[in-house]
Amino acid sequence: MKKEWKRRCRRDLTVWYVPDELRKIPRMPILGSFTRQGNIAGKVTLRTACLEASQCPKCGSTAFTEEKIKL
Ligand SMILES: [Zn+2]
């Protein structure tokens, strides 16, 4: 079953939804593994998406409460 997270900004109570795969922000890839440039680019893109999902779309605050939703 697909999971999604409902996040609510603590500051202005804006509600937004985040898919489960964007909930955890992946660590930055280790620089030096130059042979896998494609993977690095993909990971950076995913990380950016995760960081965006962890911010209130309205005020940019990263303070929020979240609850799990099953779709
Ligand atoms: Zn907000």
What does the DSSP assignment read for 18-47? Answer: EEGGGTSPPPPPPTT-GGGHHHHHHHHHHH
Distance 57 CA to ligand 1 centre (A): 7
Using the mean position of ligand 1's atoms as its centre, give its distance from the Cα of residue 46 in Å. Answer: 22
How high is the pLDDT of residue 27?
81
Determine the distance separating the centroid of ligand 1 and the alpha carbon of 9, expressed in angstroms: 5
Whole-angstrom CA distances from 60 to 10, 28, 45, 51 are: 11, 22, 19, 11
What was the pLDDT predicted at 29?
A: 63
Q: What is the value of pTM for the model shown?
A: 0.79
Q: What are phi and psi of 29, to 5 degrees?
A: -65, 150
The whole-number pLDDT of residue 4 equals 96
Give the tens place of pLDDT for each residue, 1-48. Answer: 789 999 999 999 999 999 999 999 988 766 655 555 667 788 889 999
d(CA 12, CA 16): 12
pLDDT of 64 > 80? The answer is yes
CA of 66 to the centre of ligand 1 (A): 13
